[in-house]
């Protein structure tokens, strides 16, 4: 019995951590949707949803119920298997990066001796990350790039020319902007010397004051990343795959009910992911300057306030997304491609070269 | 224990996906199967303590190369393969023989390596981490990296030349030649749209 | 020690002088590409830049022959600097330069993207140079891929022509297929010996970790290199691809990539899998590969020659002839493998390089004329198109006859000396199997007389049925013809000068690669 | 049973076999291309397995080179397929029959 518990314990902890992370992310995402509708309402001089619950706070759950109970329509001539696969791929790929989000600093001054069978022995700290892996940045980039399949396959399998066009456009767009996005991150990686997301945060903490947050030495990289992030998440002004005026609703025209909800959810989780990345790479992640003077590093309160700081940074980005959606018009497709290849990518590459030169001179 | 579970799970998945890749006539299904193989292999690389290669496998193979393939399949809107008309039957024989030989060879390799005197498997955990790969790439493998640079530059040029549309006069000639050769007028409209 | 990234970075020996020829060609290719993007379709300028780049590179290569300053462990032992590298690099540069001259006709006649074509040709040359100079399997692989990918594109350059498309597609699929085998071979060799460096592999074959994997890996490598060098039974792609590709490119493919493939092939097998007396694994490996290649050489010659007889298309005939010539070159290769001393081995390697040079000069000359006669869209390449042109275009037909005679191996021509030199090391070995091989080769030469002379007969003794417009010989093509014709005689008569230089290795102190 | 070097090599060999056979059985050029990619992946697995066995990073660096080359090959290969398709509306290799076999 003891042996079994001992062998299962680490896996159980991992699952528990993943579940907690999932819950937190889902709640944030649900309220992002609500916030979007509210903020857009205010920008347009409306009130926004206000019927379900106080100030419309229960609206996300009402939406969810609606999605679940709606009729699920499957087009006759669709390629069934792929049609079902596409939303699953989209949402899985959106959720996967969650395991490497650096939610907060590790809690080190803990005592786990109360656990039975000596399960707490040898555990020195509780990291607030599900899995701390050596190649976190690459992992996130890789998984999000696999997410393209969800959209491309959805467009293809619907057997609808608007969906196909939407899928094609979206694949082209994602492939193009992934390059600029990757190139904009390289500057940060060079400064930090690691691909580990927590490592990047620690690198920012230990930097001299003028590069305490990498947004200062990497401002160009930050701007490029932000723009590319809009394109990667199919948000206005880069929401061509679902341009209503041209393509009905793009790749998910033929999707309804829960399958549509999965796409919808995937999109918002992706938004959350890029916000996390942005905050981690350029704004110091969970690192709040001066916090270590208030609480000892490694204590529970330090961790809690760090997490709060991190969430505030993420919320700022999420708000920025909504703000942009409310105010900017949409690009044309050729403008979008030209912008990505002829402006964004060269700028990102120039930034990489500039960073290399900077690092060389700073270290010699 | 966990390693072997992961390994055998994904090894099975990889083989199943590989067979499905060959079995399916629809190129898109083949592509999806190949993505399955690639992701399973990435997980297997993790069991081999090569996280960097695993991440790059997903990033380059699954995220770039296969997206390109899927993109082309969608762009050309390829249907299922037509039923076999003029396939040379001896190719099946060649394929079968080649498969058997390679399979025998696989067993032979397994046997040979299995029987070899056990050398302790090296468990240097730093090999395979980003740092060791980066250090290797900028010291030992500096020249190969440079050559890969030339190679990629050249392939961009090549791909652009090949995939660029034909200019108009040439295009007309191509269409006429093909129509004459095929002698099928009903495909004419389709042909012009596709071009 | 680099403190920035907390890693012990040992500075590699980045000896630029060791890869100067490659660098010059790569830079020339890049200049061509950049120039073309700002001033498109300047075929004279881009051609001239490419030629100048090749010439400078050849000059640098020439100075490297006697130069002992180049470190043996340059780039971590990845670059070799021996007679194999230098002589085959020379062949590669020669082939590219002549190809540029020949293709002027074609680029003028047709609407090809000429700047891109020249830069691709230059990058293909870089690939060939690395295939000759690489002393590590990764360099050989990358060189081969650089060459192959450039050649795939060049084969498909005439986009409006279905034959060109088809040729490119077949070449691409079969080429990548063979690359898969080649790579598997490399992986198994790496597994068996624990290294990808040829020098280290040569040290490790005496006592490999997994002897069985060494054998399988070598077999896979034979498949991979055999495809690229177009040896039977891995030759199936050759006729189709050669026929469909634009004619100057076909000439290039028959001469350049084949020579480069032989360079890598020999580097891995002759230098990487030597005979270490007394070591069981090494002896078994050596015996196996020598026997296998002997059989392959016999098959290659015979199949190539017999299939060439029944062809009615000149390009296809030359394709099969190139297969047969790969067989002859294999004889010298095997001779190098069984050579008793290092000097004899170097001489045998030099003879193969020389053979590739003579084949290149003859073959390129023949393709120059075929290009010229093919007219627009590469249409006229059948034997019938050559009927009775003999006395109407005497310069072209006499030159073509000369090249045919040289391919056949008539004394005084380059082809004769090439054959003599390449057969000699195999005869000297005193091995009965190799003697049989040489006999087969000689018989094959006799067979090949039929189809080479047939073209001559067709040109001079048949009546012309359709009207004949003698093509105009442009200046670059005249230069190419001059070079190839004089080359045929020069290599035929003064072969000892070339062979002496080719067998001369730059003095080297330590061979062991620094790891 | 812990997976050993031999197990990894066996998996790689099986994948290589499936890929190589697939190239011959497939009629569609894109399908053939995908089978070739499968072969390259099998080779990569061999390299990584040996790299682990020898604790030598060379194998993994080689894999990285193979991946880059595969990307370049994919770009050019798809360009060739598109060029062929524009002329034939098909990428069946059996339709590639202008050149006599």
Looking at domain D5-100, its CATH class is mainly alpha
Note down the domain range covering B28: 1-77
The answer to whether residue D72 neighbours chain B at the CB level (below 8 Å) is yes
| Predicted pLDDT of residue A243 | 60
pLDDT of residue B26: 85
What tens digit of pLDDT does each residue of A114-141 get? 777 777 776 777 888 888 888 889 999 9
Span C395-416, average pLDDT: 90
Averaged pLDDT of chain B: 80
- When comparing pLDDT for B172 and D17, which is higher? D17
Residue C253: its pLDDT value, please?
92
Per-residue pLDDT tens over the stretch C69-99: 777 677 888 888 888 999 999 999 999 999 9
Quick check: is B49 in a domain? yes
CA distances from B152 to C145, D34, D65, D75 (A): 11, 20, 11, 9
Q: What is the pLDDT of residues D40-61, one digit of tens each?
A: 999 999 999 999 888 888 999 9
Evaluated on CA atoms D1, D5, D7, D12, the torsion sign reads: positive
Separation CA C356–CA C360 (nearest Å): 6
Q: What confidence score (pLDDT) does residue A21 get?
A: 86
Token pair 């409209």 in the structure block, residue: B189
Decide if B95 and D56 are in contact by the 8 Å CB cutoff: no
What's residue A169's pLDDT? 80
In the predicted structure, residue B10 carries a pLDDT above the cut 60: yes
The average pLDDT across B76-105 equals 75
Which of C7, C53, C187, C192 is the best residue to mutate to test the B interface, defined by the most B CB atoms within 10 Å of its own CB? C7
pLDDT of the residue at C260: 94
Residue C515 has pLDDT above 50, yes or no: no
Chain D residues within 8 A of B47 when measuring between CB atoms: 3
Query: Can you give the pLDDT at residue B122?
Result: 57
Interchain proximity B63–A142, CB inside 8 Å: yes
Instruction: Please answer whether residues C224 and C178 qualify as being in contact, where contact means their C-beta atoms are separated by less than 8 angstroms.
Output: yes
What is the predicted pLDDT for the residue at C498?
87
Structure tokens at C449: 């007389």
Give percent of chain B with pLDDT exceeding 90. Answer: 30
| Cα–Cα distance for residue pair A282/A285, rounded to 1 Å | 8
Where residue B87 falls among pLDDT bands split at 50, 70, 90?
low
Angle in degrees, CA C400, C402, C407, rounded to 5: 95
Q: What is the pLDDT of residues A237-277, one digit of tens each?
A: 877 666 665 666 677 777 777 888 888 888 889 999 999 99
A355 contact partners, CB below 8 Å, separation of at least 6:
A186, A187, A190, A191, A217, A218, A221
Contact D67/B57 with Cβ under 8 angstroms?
yes
Distance from CA of D59 to the nearest CA of C (A): 8
Mean pLDDT over residues C237-261, rounded? 91
Q: For residue A52, how many other CB atoms are within 10 A of its CB?
A: 15
Model confidence at B124: pLDDT above 80: no
B71 assigned to some structural domain: yes
Q: Measured between beta carbons, which residues in chain C are less than 8 angstroms from residue B142?
A: 12, 14, 75-76
> Do the two chains D and A touch, given a threshold of 8 Å on CB pairs and at least 3 pairs?
no
Give the pLDDT confidence of C456-508 residue by residue, as tens digits: 888 888 888 777 777 888 888 999 999 999 999 999 888 888 888 888 876 55
CA distances from C412 to C56, C496, D33 (A): 31, 13, 48
Q: Does residue B122 lie in a domain region?
A: no
Share of residues in chain A with pLDDT > 70 (%):
96
- pLDDT (tens digit per residue) in C4-36: 455 556 677 778 888 899 999 999 999 999 999
C163 to D50: CB separation less than 8 angstroms, yes or no: no
Judged by DSSP in three states, A172 sits in helix
Q: State which residue of chain A sits closest to B26, comparing Cα positions.
A: A79
H or E stretch at C84: helix C83-109
pLDDT value of position B195:
44
Residues of chain A contacting C5 with CB distance shorter than 8 Å: 193
Q: What is the pLDDT of residue C302?
A: 93
Q: Can you tell me the ipTM of this complex?
A: 0.91
Pick left, alpha or beta for residue C275 (phi over 0 → left; psi -120 to 50 → alpha; otherwise beta). beta
Position A171 scores a pLDDT of 80
How many separate helices (H) and strands (E) can be counted in chain D? 3, 0
Q: Does A24 touch chain C (CB under 8 A)?
A: no
Looking at chain C, the whole-number percentage of residues with pLDDT higher than 70 is: 95
pLDDT at residue C332 greater than cutoff 60 = yes
CA distance B72 to B84: 23
Over pLDDT 90: what percentage of chain C? 51
Touching check for B163 and chain C: CB below 8 Å? no
| Closest CA–CA distance from residue C30 to any residue of chain A (Å) | 18
C100/C51 Cα distance (integer angstroms): 7
Closest-CA residue to B153 (of C172, D36, C124): C124
The reply to whether B180 touches chain C by the CB within 8 Å rule is no
Count: domains in chain B: 1
| Domains in chain D: boundaries | 5-100
How confident is the model at residue C445, as a pLDDT? 92
Average pLDDT over residues B75-88: 60
Q: Which of residues 118-157 of C touch B (CB under 8 A)?
A: 119-120, 123, 126, 130, 138-139, 142-143, 145-146, 149-150, 152-153, 156-157
Write out pLDDT tens, residues C204-231. Answer: 888 888 888 899 999 999 999 999 999 9
- Test the D interface: residue of C124, C127, C172, C182 with most D CBs within 10 Å: C172
Assign residue B49 the CATH number of its domain: 1.20.120.1200
When pLDDT is averaged across residues A285-303 and rounded to a whole number, the result is 83
| Residues C307/C285, Cβ–Cβ less than 8 Å | no
- Chain-wide mean pLDDT for chain C? 88
Task: Specify the pLDDT at position A9.
Answer: 81
Say what the pLDDT of residue A238 is. 79
Taking CA atoms, what residue in D is nearest to C169?
A: D80
pLDDT of residue C2: 37
Q: Does position A329 have pLDDT exceeding 50, yes or no?
A: yes
CA–CA distance, C418 with C329 (Å, rounded to integer): 9
C7: which chain B residues are within 8 Å (Cβ-Cβ)? 131, 134-135
Q: Which helix (H) or strand (E) element contains residue A76?
A: none
Residue C140 reports pLDDT greater than 90: yes
A142/B59 touch (CB, cutoff 8 Å), yes or no: yes
User: Using CA atoms, how far apart are residues C393 and C414, in angstroms rounded to an integer?
Assistant: 24
């Amino acid at each position: 019995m003891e042996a079994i518990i001992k062998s299962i314990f680490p896996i159980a902890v991992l699952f528990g951590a993943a579940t907690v992370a999932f819950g937190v992310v889902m709640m944030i995402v649900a309220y992002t949707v609500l916030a979007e509708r509210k903020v857009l309402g205010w920008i347009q001089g409306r009130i926004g949803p206000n019927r379900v619950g106080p100030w419309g706070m229960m609206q996300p759950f009402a939406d969810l119920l609606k999605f679940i109970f709606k009729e699920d329509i499957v087009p006759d001539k669709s390629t069934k298997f792929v049609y079902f696969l596409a939303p699953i791929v989209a949402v899985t790929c959106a959720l996967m990066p969650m395991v490497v989000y650096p939610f907060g600093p590790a809690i080190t001054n803990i005592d786990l001796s109360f656990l039975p069978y000596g399960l707490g022995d040898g555990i020195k700290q509780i990291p607030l990350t599900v899995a701390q892996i050596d190649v976190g940045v690459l992992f996130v980039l890789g998984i999000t790039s696999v997410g393209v399949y969800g959209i491309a396959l959805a467009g293809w399998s619907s057997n609808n020319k608007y969906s196909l066009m939407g899928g094609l456009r979206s694949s082209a767009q994602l492939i193009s902007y992934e390059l600029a996005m990757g190139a904009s991150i390289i500057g940060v990686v060079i400064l930090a010397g690691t691909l580990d997301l927590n490592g990047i945060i620690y690198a920012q903490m230990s930097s001299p004051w003028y590069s305490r947050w990498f947004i200062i030495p990497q401002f160009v990289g930050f701007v490029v990343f932000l723009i590319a992030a809009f394109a990667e998440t199919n948000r206005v002004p880069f929401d061509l795959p679902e341009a209503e005026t041209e393509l009905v609703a793009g790749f998910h025209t033929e999707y309804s009910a829960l399958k549509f909800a999965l796409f919808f959810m995937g999109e918002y989780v992706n938004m959350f992911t890029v916000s996390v990345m942005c905050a981690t790479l350029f704004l110091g992640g969970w690192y709040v300057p001066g916090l270590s003077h208030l609480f000892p590093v490694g204590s529970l309160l330090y961790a809690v306030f760090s997490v709060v700081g991190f969430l505030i940074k993420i919320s700022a980005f999420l708000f920025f997304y909504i703000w942009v959606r409310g105010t900017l018009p949409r690009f044309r497709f050729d403008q979008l491609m030209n912008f990505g290849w002829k402006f964004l990518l060269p700028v990102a590459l120039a930034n990489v070269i500039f960073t290399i030169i900077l690092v060389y001179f700073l270290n010699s | 224990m966990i390693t072997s579970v992961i390994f055998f799970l994904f090894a099975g998945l990889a083989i199943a996906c590989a067979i499905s890749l060959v079995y399916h006539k629809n190129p898109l299904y083949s592509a999806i199967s190949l993505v399955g193989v690639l992701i399973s292999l990435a997980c297997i690389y993790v069991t081999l303590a090569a996280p960097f290669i695993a991440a790059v496998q997903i990033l380059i193979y699954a995220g770039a190369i296969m997206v390109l393939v899927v993109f082309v399949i969608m762009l050309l809107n390829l249907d299922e393969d037509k039923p076999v008309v003029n396939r040379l039957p001896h190719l099946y024989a060649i394929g079968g023989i080649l498969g058997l030989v390679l399979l025998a060879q696989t067993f032979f390799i397994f046997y040979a390596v299995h029987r070899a005197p056990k050398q302790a498997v090296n468990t240097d955990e730093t090999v395979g981490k980003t740092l060791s790969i980066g250090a290797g790439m900028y010291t030992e493998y500096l020249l190969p990296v440079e050559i890969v640079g030339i190679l990629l530059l050249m392939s961009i040029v090549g791909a652009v030349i090949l995939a660029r549309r034909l200019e108009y006069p040439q295009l007309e000639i191509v269409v006429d030649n093909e129509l004459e050769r095929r002698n099928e007028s009903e495909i004419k409209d389709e042909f012009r749209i596709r071009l | 020690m680099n403190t920035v990234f907390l890693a012990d970075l040992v500075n590699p020996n980045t000896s630029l002088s060791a890869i100067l020829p490659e660098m010059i060609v790569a830079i020339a290719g890049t200049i061509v590409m950049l120039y073309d993007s700002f001033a498109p379709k300047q075929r004279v300028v881009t051609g001239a830049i490419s030629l100048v780049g090749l010439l400078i590179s050849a000059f640098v290569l020439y100075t490297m022959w006697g130069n002992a300053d180049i470190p043996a462990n340059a780039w971590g032992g990845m670059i070799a600097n021996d007679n194999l590298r230098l002589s085959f690099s020379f062949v590669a540069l020669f082939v590219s330069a002549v190809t540029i001259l020949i293709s002027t006709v074609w680029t003028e006649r047709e609407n090809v993207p000429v700047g891109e074509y020249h830069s691709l040709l230059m990058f293909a040359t870089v690939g060939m140079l690395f295939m000759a100079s690489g002393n590590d399997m990764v360099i050989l692989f990358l060189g081969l891929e650089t060459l192959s990918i450039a050649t795939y594109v060049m084969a498909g350059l005439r986009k409006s022509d279905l034959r060109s498309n088809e040729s490119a597609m077949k070449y691409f699929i079969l080429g990548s297929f063979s690359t898969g085998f080649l790579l598997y071979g490399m992986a198994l060799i790496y597994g068996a010996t624990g290294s990808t460096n040829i020098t280290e592999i040569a040290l490790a074959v005496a006592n490999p970790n997994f002897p069985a994997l060494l054998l399988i890996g070598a077999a896979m490598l034979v498949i991979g290199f055999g495809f690229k060098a177009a040896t039977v039974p891995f030759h199936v792609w050759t006729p189709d691809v050669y026929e469909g590709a634009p004619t100057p490119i076909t000439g290039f493919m028959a001469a350049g990539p084949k020579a480069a493939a032989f360079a890598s092939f020999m580097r891995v097998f002759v230098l990487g899998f030597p005979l270490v007396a007394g070591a069981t694994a090494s002896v078994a490996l050596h015996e196996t590969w020598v026997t296998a290649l002997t059989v392959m050489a016999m098959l290659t010659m015979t199949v190539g020659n017999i299939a060439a007889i029944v062809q009615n298309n000149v390009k296809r005939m030359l394709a099969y002839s190139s297969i047969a010539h790969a067989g002859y070159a294999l004889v010298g290769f095997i001779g190098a493998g069984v050579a008793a001393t290092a000097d004899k081995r170097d001489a045998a390697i030099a003879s193969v390089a020389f053979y590739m040079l003579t084949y290149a000069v003859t073959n390129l000359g023949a393709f120059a004329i075929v290009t010229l006669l093919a007219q627009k869209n590469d249409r006229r390449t059948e034997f019938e198109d050559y009927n009775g042109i003999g006395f109407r275009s005497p310069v072209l037909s006499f030159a073509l006859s000369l090249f045919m005679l040289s391919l056949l191996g008539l004394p005084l021509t380059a082809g004769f000396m090439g054959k003599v030199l390449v057969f000699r090391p195999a005869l000297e070995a005193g091995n009965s199997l190799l003697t049989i091989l040489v006999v087969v080769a000689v018989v094959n030469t006799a067979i090949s007389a039929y189809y080479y002379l047939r073209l001559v007969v067709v040109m001079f003794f048949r009546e012309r049925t359709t009207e004949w417009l003698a093509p105009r010989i442009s200046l670059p093509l005249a230069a190419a013809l001059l070079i190839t014709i004089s080359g045929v005689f020069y290599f035929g008569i003064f072969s000892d000068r070339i062979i002496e230089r080719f067998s001369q290795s730059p003095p080297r102190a330590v061979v062991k690669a620094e790891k | 049973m812990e997976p050993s070097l031999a197990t990894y090599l066996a998996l790689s060999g099986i994948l290589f076999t499936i890929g190589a056979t697939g190239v011959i059985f497939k009629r569609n050029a894109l399908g053939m291309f995908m089978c070739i990619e499968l072969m390259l992946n099998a080779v990569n697995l061999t390299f990584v397995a040996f790299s682990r066995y020898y604790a030598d990073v060379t194998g993994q660096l080689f894999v990285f080179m193979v991946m880059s080359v595969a990307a370049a090959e994919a770009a050019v290969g798809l360009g060739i397929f598109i060029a062929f398709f524009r002329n034939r509306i098909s990428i069946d290799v059996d339709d590639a029959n202008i050149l006599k076999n």
